[in-house]
Structure 1
């Protein structure tokens, strides 16, 4: 039996096109406005660009879990405010709020789904003074966003995004900040276990 593994790759080595996806029925009814906003996001954010902090291959059942990756939250010298793109989160339909990010993703990885785990969770931890945000483009081209997770876990200002029955393919990830600052050390965590969170 092959041991599940994660292989970290340089972003320049990651194949950036043509990720497969599995159709899923959204709980939110998409509107023409959402489609236009996603098209704007696709043209504004360079999701196919070389990631700022690298890329990798992630296979369901990976260890360690959670898997952690260091990066810097924020929008760099020419930040883009996600709120200006007028997107809604594809899962719950809430508007994507203020979030300053870079044009290129901070990280992207290719996910190989399995049959044992039905959850793929991303969360970010930072210094208490930093209000981080999280924006993810799914393999199917839909967008997810979160600022404060709003759950009873503590660390209320840490963003979290859950994907249930996650689709295989490439996930493009931006870790932004509520303020247009760029010097914000952060850690991106990826887990398949529900008891792992901020």
Structure 2
């Protein structure tokens, strides 16, 4: 049953809520292991999916009733959420049992283990607060093998609660990563669409792409390298605009293209993916962007 003290937050989907203080060793202020996401609800319905590292050595039960699983000290992901959103939904998907723990901008703790009859957790907030959400994905130890963390797909939805959700939602969010992010090969789900050529697209890249980037990335690599790889079912072109304005392209590896930046500058990267095949240029082609620091 939902705690009465938190019904004002209008959670639409959740199994439990906790308002206890930080557990011993829990540090919300630490750098999140899988980055920081900035999302502006004023830009309309959006969806962002990425792989993250789940689990750790802290019992989430210590945060209060209905919190479950083992979580890490640092958050899995930090979300900076703008004002004016109608519904914010966070969910995790994996092949086994996971849990969600979220600290809201007001300091409340929201938890969910199993939602809608399955093992995947979901938390939905209507009229969500503007501000910083720290998100942990836990593992329920009785279902996991050994090891400190497990890969899980984390989804962030900014939607209109009264409208039917379309099959495809764009994202205008920006992901910030520092060197040493986990998992070491971090996947972001995106779509390639070649209906419109973006103004910055270099003709030498060989294909067209949507004006909307597949990913806006801020990277602070401290001199490390960065590899961006695009994988999909169709022949793709990958283009990356670096912080100094240079464009780096690859369209020679059919369904898997990569751009390797051995000494990646710190700053803003814009990443586009476009299909090479004519029949695919008016369709949305699911792709996976894999980011690796080396």
Change (3 A) 1:48 1:68: same
How far the C-alpha of 1:187 sits from its partner, in A, is 1.1
Structure with more relative contact order (C-alpha pairs < 8 Å, separation 6 or more): 1
For the 8 Å contact 1:111–1:170, the answer to whether it is kept is: yes
Match of 1:161 among 96, 119, 123: 123
8 Å Cα contact 1:136-1:171 kept in structure 2 = yes
1:27 maps to 2:12: no
Cα root mean square deviation, aligned:
2.6
Question: Is 1:53–1:106's contact at 8 Å kept on the other side of the alignment?
Answer: yes
Distance 1:184 1:64 in 2: 29
Counterpart of 1:144?
Answer: 110
The number of equivalent residue pairs is 146
Distance in 2 separating the partners of 1:160 and 1:62: 23
Structure (1 or 2) with the greater strand fraction: 2
- Following TM superposition, by how much is the alpha carbon of 1:149 offset from its aligned partner in structure 2, in angstroms? 0.9
Distance 1:63 1:132, change over 3 A: farther
**Partner residue in 1 for 2:78:** 108
Which of structure 1's runs of 4+ aligned residues deviate more than 6 A? none
Q: Structure 1: give runs of 5+ residues left out of the alignment.
A: 1-24, 29-33, 89-94
C-alpha separation in 2, matches of 1:62 and 1:80:
37
Are 1:70 and 2:38 an aligned pair?
Answer: no
- SS of 2:119's partner is coil
1:72–1:182 CA contact under 8 A, matched in 2 = no
Distance apart, 1:51 and its partner CA: 0.6
Instruction: Tell me, yes or no, if structure 1 residue 170 matches structure 2 residue 132.
Output: yes
Normalised to the residue count of structure 1, the TM-score between the two structures is 0.65
Q: Quick one: structure 1 residues 112 and 27, their matched pair in 2 at CA, closer, same or farther if it must change by over 3 Å?
A: same
- TM-score normalized by the length of structure 2: 0.45
1:30-75, Cα deviation, whole Å (9 max, x unpaired): xxxx99x62243x531000011111121111557832112112111
**Equivalent runs, 1:93-104 vs 2, <5 Å:** 95-96=66-67, 98-104=68-74
- 5+ residue gaps, structure 2: 9-16, 167-294
Larger Rg: 2
Map residues 49-60 of structure 1 onto 2, 5 A cutoff: 49-60=30-41
Partner of 1:15: none
Q: How far did residue 27 of structure 1 move?
A: 1.9
